[in-house]
A and B are shown apart, each in its own frame.
Chain A
């Protein structure tokens, strides 16, 4: 029995954690919770010119139960807050939340009786994308930061 030459075979080594992270970050099913003008910028990002599908996030699901990432796009009012919470609670683990635009990050320029001062007062947020509205490049940058975060985290299975 001679020596086995490993380089003759095509294979790679990794950890299970990294492999799952790699799979998850490139197959993000998003739930767009679109309430306001930021939605236009979200659509621009999703369409062919910027093509969010390059990042494996091109498949919006309109049921929270089938989604991995909750994109909260636009101003959230106090009247709507319980709905957002409910949508978040309906999503299956693992799940992530992206706050898209300043209104979802901090309330933006709204400082009044009607507006929630940042969705992180209601649900946990993973990535904040500021801007009023954010440019598609900015959104893609946020998406890549989310992918980085998913790759690095401990994968619960």
Chain B
């Protein structure tokens, strides 16, 4: 019940940012416009009403073959509040035409490497990130391997044959 209130509360407090709010498998979840992520993140962390002080995980989803979705990427923020012992999922919509979103590394320092990983795997750029370069793949690697249109057997070896 408390969860339901949280998602609704966010929808009422940020009507220009929150597109959708509700419960997903018992966890409050809000879908937002990517332009609002910095404002929302700052409020979620510093407002004692929310107090989401921990960024548990930060990842992305590629909806390339999911036609009814109508957009390419979602960046998913998995937040946790140690004071209230509750979680919140924030999903920011990122279209293919403009693969950028503001970095939240200034709000939660943990976002630094997560954002580098998303850049590496999905090619979503984080504006304002202090050091946005590949974290897992090598610099010579072309493309972003977790994008659905990256051929899953395509290899780019540094030495040796391609297969």
Contact of A81 among B152, B160, B163 (CB under 8 A): B160
Contact of A117 among B136, B138, B150, B163 (CB under 8 A): B163
Q: List residues of A (74-88) whose CB comes within 8 Å of B's CBs.
A: 78-79, 81-82, 85
The interface residues of chain A lying within 8 Å CB-to-CB of B152 are: 111-113
Total count of chain A residues near the partner, CB < 8 A? 13
What 1/0 flags go to A45-88 for Cβ under 8 Å of B?
A: 00000000000000000000000000000000011011001000
9 contacts between A and B (CB under 8 A): A78-B155, A78-B156, A79-B137, A79-B138, A79-B158, A112-B145, A113-B150, A113-B155, A116-B160
**A122 at interface (Cβ–Cβ under 8 A)?**
yes
**A114 at interface (Cβ–Cβ under 8 A)?**
yes
CA distance A116 to B158 in the complex (A): 10
The interface residues of chain A lying within 8 Å CB-to-CB of B163 are: 117, 121
CA distance A82 to B156 in the complex (A): 13
**Between A and B, how many residue pairs show CB distances below 8 Å?**
39
The interface residues of chain B lying within 8 Å CB-to-CB of A116 are: 157, 160
Contact of A78 among B150, B153, B157 (CB under 8 A): B157
The interface residues of chain B lying within 8 Å CB-to-CB of A121 are: 160-161, 163
**B154 at interface (Cβ–Cβ under 8 A)?**
yes
CA distance A85 to B160 in the complex (A): 10
**Given A79-B137, A79-B138 in contact, is the A113-B154 Cβ separation under 8 Å?**
yes
The interface residues of chain A lying within 8 Å CB-to-CB of B157 are: 78, 81, 116
Min Cβ gap A135→B in Å is: 29
* Contact across chains for B145 and A78 when beta carbons are under 8 A apart: no
The interface residues of chain B lying within 8 Å CB-to-CB of A117 are: 155, 163
Known contacts A79-B136, A79-B158, A81-B159, then 11 further A-B pairs from the complex at CB < 8 Å, ordered by chain A residue: A78-B138, A78-B155, A81-B157, A81-B158, A81-B160, A111-B152, A113-B152, A114-B145, A116-B157, A117-B155, A121-B161
